[in-house]
Structure 1
Amino acid sequence: MKILLHGLNFAPEELGIGKYSGEMIQWLAEQGHHCAVVTTPPYYPQWKIGEGYFGGRYCREWLEASGEKVGAGDGRAVDEGGPSLRFARPSQREREVEIGAEPIRVIRCPLWVPGKVSGLKRIIHLASFGLSSVPVMLWKAVTFRPDVILTVEPAAMCMPTTWLAARLCGAKAWLHVQDFEVDAAFELGILKQPLLKRMVLAAEAFLMRRFDRVSSISPNMQAKLAEKGVHPDRIAGLPNWVDCDMIRPLDAVTGNGTKPREPPASDPAAESDTVSRRIDGPHFTADGSAEPKVTVDAAAADGIDRRSLRQRFGIPADRFVALYAGNIGAKQGLEIIVDAAKALAERPGDGDAGRGDAGQVPVHLVICGTGAAVDDLRARAQGVPGLQLLPPQPWQHFNELMNCADLHLLPQKAGAADLVMPSKLTGMLASGRPVVACADPGTQIADVVQGRGVVVPAGDTAGFTAAIRMLADDPVLCGELGRAARRFAVDHLGRDAILRRFESALFDLLGPSELPQRADSVPAPLGSTTGAHAGEIAQAAELRRSATPQ
């Protein structure tokens, strides 16, 4: 099968949509499919063009899914996408790389990335790729002759070109919705004009209905597709996944003395990076001063106790650590973490070393990441005790960071919980730690976290703070919820199971003659199936309409 991906984000981005799109195409290539990608230079979540890439010109690369080592080539070769993703310029491939399986052809189009993100600048940013990718997509449709052309929302501006390219070459058009970016922009106040909202939502719905298949990552988001007029027979489920061997509990002792949750398996990240690596960027303390950079030896991380691991990241070893690791943007609502840190600092034992008067374990909150709102967050966090900001960490060290936590935090602004399904949630669950999430009852986030953490209403600072304090004071409950989270990730979020179902759905879209005979059958993840029952989706959409205020 020949597959062409048209998407704003792709490997070697290590967070969000770029990570999932890169892993999906890599997996499909490993199954023997011929894949090509039209995308941008990596820029997310830093909102800065990655080193060695160019935002003002077209570039062609080859992605070696087999993982052969590559050296310097024409321009600069890039090796930032984890242990199995390698990039090479065409001349380098011809000169140095011995090809086994068919490589993945990647074309990166010009992209404008604003230094300071606003609503208007974000639109121009998306439009720059939407326009620059038009000639490349039409050219690839004619020369590559794909069987399926796949695009991912965000960015919705890619939809017209994807559909036109598919019609031009007779391919099937597949739209995968990671975020309802248009709805979220208006719900969060990024865009505000009512007339513009009606026009943009109508155009988006019109385009969605033109696609042969439209998928999304949760049942509630599939129901929203039906609300927008997509026929239920064309709606499919494609949830995000996690590599449960890469993200997993390490054999370690926690900072507050709880016991390890499960023995470690082999760690591909550690095996691939045995050299000490410096963590980039400053670490900010409570008074806003920058601490020295910290060096972490990935090979030594597996099997050490949590106290030593935390010290390597500059995280206090004797606190109950609640961690948020991910993008720092408008829809995350990270202000609630800052407010929780302030509230916890007012209680005895929190924000200070040692235990409080009642023997409570002091709580330390950590925010790790970057993004469009990072400067505003730093200003808000200035001088707040018990709160630490860390820069984004290399993927090779991400599991070590996740294992520094006793608890993961998933804040979300009101109104966004059913418009987005945070990809970071899969890693939180796989790490074997409970989650405190902001979501309304009945949303997909609430359904997934329930029984594996604590759900509080979005914007409820008191409830958010109380949930953190409750789990800090109850290590038995914290451990039980963390083990339940790990079991759910292993049983339902495995990458191979989900992508095998996706591959079968691609064959099904092309017709029975293309469908290979398989002896295995894969259980449906997250309670949904690719090609979910049309009646159930239609019924869910009707319930959503009836519950929405007019």
Structure 2
Amino acid sequence: MELTFGLQLLTAPWYRPDVVVCVSPPLLAVALAATRTQLTPHRPALGVVVHDVYSRALVEMGAESGLSARAVRAVEAFTIRRADGVAVIHEGFATDLVCTFGVDPRRIREVRNWTHIAVPDPAASADFRSTHKWGDDEIVVLHAGNMGTKQGLENVIDSARLAGERGLRVRFVLLGDGHRRTDLQAAGAGVPNLQFLPPVPEAEFPAALGAADVLLVNELPGVAHMAVPSKLTSYFAAGKPILAATDESGFTAEEIAESDAGIRVPAGRPDLLLREAVRLGTDRALAGRLSEAGRRYSDLLLSTTGAIDQYEQWILDLAATRRTTHSTREGEDP
């Protein structure tokens, strides 16, 4: 699908745009768009919004060697270097782009992902909790989003199993979908403190977050700088304490520390994950303080209006740069 879309970019009419903006991933389609801009008369400015750094992912997922890995790095380098401007969703990505690909830091701009959900309605959250039979005496720990390799959700299953063995009223809920879901369900079969839920409609998502006692980010050990979990923006807005099982030097840990909205435990430690889940679910004062901090962080840094304004200015700057370049070239023509 990505290749098909990219090939369409090469042949579709563009009608002389001033700026072309692409979002990576998908990397291959963006690379083909970059190629198209190079071949277009009166070349438009190319802006690339980087959500994930592929080369970093190869390292952290243990696939940094081999022909395919080298090919991916080469494609990513080609694409980023040909961009007139790069927008990153976290300042840590800028470091990788400068050090790995030699991108001029003046061409990089940080624009944070914005919160796309409404503040949960307490009544709707209570209904959601009741519908799914989550008891008032249970601590519900909710992981919402993709179930892939980098999430390392076997750690959550182990924590749920441990809760059952200890007779604790802690329910771990995995809400969403992904290529690892079937395997995870098989691994968690028969674990009473574990529940899988399918993705919910967008309108119902805030209620699902608000129905939980603790919102969970879980990452595979070693995952640190390949991406910033998009779920965090929703978690901050939901006003619930966040529990992050992640590398202490990673972007997720940085976000948790900067926001003061949660607690971090090392990735791959189900015992510590369970211990802190119980603490957040029983210490009302702590949970309240973290929840309020998350809401403040969301309001201050992750507003939709602020992010869109920054993107608008970035695109205007790209267009101005391209017009200046064209004017210079035309003035030099004989």
Q: Structure 1-normalised TM-score?
A: 0.55
Q: 1:131 to 1:251 in 2, by over 3 A?
A: closer
Structure 1 CA distance, aligned partners of 2:218 and 2:174? 11
After superposition, residues 368-383 of structure 1 pair within 5 angstroms as 368-383=175-190
Aligned structure 1 segments of 4 or more residues deviating by more than 6 angstroms: none
Q: Distance in 2 between matches of 1:326 and 1:203?
A: 28
Q: What secondary structure does 2:147 align onto?
A: coil
DSSP-derived class of the 1:370 partner: coil
Q: Which runs of 5+ in 1 are unaligned?
A: 1-110, 112-128, 253-300, 351-361, 515-550
Q: Deviations over 1:477-527 (max 9, x none)?
A: 11111111111111110111111011011101111899xxxxxxxxxxxxx
Choose from 198, 207, 211 the match for 2:83.
Answer: 211
Cα deviation code 1:166-187 (max 9, x no counterpart): 2314111111111123432452
Paired residue for 1:337, among 156, 167, 173?
Answer: 156
Deviation at 1:432, TM superposition (A): 0.1
SS state at 2:228 partner: coil
1:174 pairs with 2:58 = no
- Choose from 262, 266, 275 the match for 1:466: 275
In 2, Cα distance between equivalents of 1:220 and 1:186: 16
Q: Cα gap change, 1:162/1:498 in structure 2, threshold over 3 Å: closer, same or farther?
A: same
Q: Which amino acid aligns with 2:232?
A: L
Structure-to-structure mapping, 1:64-79, within 5 angstroms: none
- Secondary structure of the residue aligned to 1:133 is helix
| Count of aligned residue pairs for this structure pair | 318
Larger relative contact order (Cα-Cα within 8 Å, sequence gap ≥ 6) = 2
Match of 1:323 among 137, 142, 147: 142
Q: Distance in 1 between matches of 2:140 and 2:128?
A: 13
CA distances 1:342-365 after superposition (whole Å, capped 9, x unpaired): 1112224x1xxxxxxxxxxx2111
The question of whether the paired residues in 2 share the 8 Å contact of 1:220 and 1:443 is answered with: no
Map 1:156-175 → 2, pairs under 5 A: 156-167=27-38, 168-169=40-41, 170-175=43-48
> How many angstroms apart in 1 are the aligned matches of 2:304 and 2:94?
20
SS at match of 1:377: helix
Taking only aligned residues, the RMSD between alpha carbons, in angstroms, comes to 2.1
- Residues 1:506 and 2:325 are matched in the alignment: no
* CA shift in 2, pair 1:224/1:248, >3 Å: same
Q: How far off its partner does 1:410 sit?
A: 0.2
SS of the residue corresponding to residue 322 of structure 1 reads: strand
Quick one: distance in 2 between partners of 1:219 and 1:192?
23
| Separation (CA, whole Å) in 2 of partners of 1:231 and 1:416 | 26
Which residue pairs with 2:211 in the alignment? 404
Query: Secondary structure at the residue paired with 1:372?
Result: coil
Q: Which amino acid aligns with 1:368?
A: L
CA distance in 1, matches of 2:6, 2:79: 18
1:188-233 C-alpha deviation (Å, 9 max, x unpaired): 24x4643443343234223311111112110111111112211111
Aligned residue number for residue 50 of structure 1? none
Give secondary structure in 2 for the equivalent of 1:365. strand
Q: 3-state DSSP class of the match of 1:414?
A: coil
Q: Which residue of 2 aligns with 1:476?
A: 285
**Which consecutive unaligned segments of at least 5 residues does structure 2 have?**
324-334
How far does the alpha carbon of each residue in 1:49-108 deviate from its partner, in whole angstroms, 9 at most, with x for none? Answer: xxxxxxxxxxxxxxxxxxxxxxxxxxxxxxxxxxxxxxxxxxxxxxxxxxxxxxxxxxxx
- Secondary structure of residue in 1 paired with 2:12: helix
Distance 2:141 2:229 in 1: 18
Could you tell me how far 1:425 is from its partner in structure 2?
0.6
Is the Cα–Cα contact under 8 Å of residues 453 and 481 in structure 1 kept in the other structure? yes
Q: Secondary structure at the match of 1:481?
A: helix
Percentage identity across paired residues of the two chains: 32
Residue identity opposite 1:403 in structure 2: G
Match of 1:241 in 2: 114
Specify the code of the residue in structure 2 equivalent to 1:424.
Answer: K
CA apart distance, 1:444: 2.4
| AA in 2 matched with 1:381 | G
Decide whether aligned partners of structure 1 residues 513 and 338 sit closer, same or farther in structure 2, where only a CA change above 3 A counts: closer
Which residue identity is paired with 1:200?
A: V
Task: Give the superposition deviation at 1:335.
Answer: 1.0
Q: 2:235 aligns with which of 428, 442, 453?
A: 428
Task: Give, in whole Å, the separation in 2 of the partners of 1:442 and 1:185.
Answer: 18
Larger helix fraction of residues:
2
Task: Report the equivalent of 1:365.
Answer: 172
Q: Is the 8 A contact 1:150 1:173 kept in 2?
A: yes
Give the equivalent residue in structure 2 for 1:227: 99
Q: Within 1, Cα distance between the matches of 2:65 and 2:247?
A: 26
Q: 1:387 to 1:421 in 2, by over 3 A?
A: same
Establish whether residue 444 from structure 1 lines up as the match of residue 251 from structure 2: yes
Q: Is the 8 A contact 1:153 1:181 kept in 2?
A: no
Distance in 2, matches of 1:197 and 1:400, equals 41
Work out whether residues 411 and 437 of structure 1, in 8 Å CA contact, stay in contact via their aligned partners in 2.
Answer: yes
What SS does the aligned partner of 1:140 have? coil
Superposed, 1:152-301 pairs within 5 Å as 152-167=23-38, 168-169=40-41, 170-189=43-62, 191=63, 193-228=65-100, 229-243=102-116, 246-251=117-122, 301=124
Q: Does structure 2 retain, via aligned residues, the 8 Å contact 1:215–1:235?
A: yes
Q: State the TM-score, normalized to the length of structure 2.
A: 0.88
- Please give the residue correspondences for 1:93-132 in structure 2 after superposition, counting only pairs within 5 Å: 111=1, 129-132=2-5
User: Given the superposition, is the C-alpha separation of residues 332 and 478 from structure 1 closer, same or farther in structure 2, using an over 3 Å criterion?
Assistant: same
Deviation, 1:330, is 0.8
* Residues 1:140 and 2:38 aligned together: no
Q: Is the 8 A contact 1:328 1:374 kept in 2?
A: yes
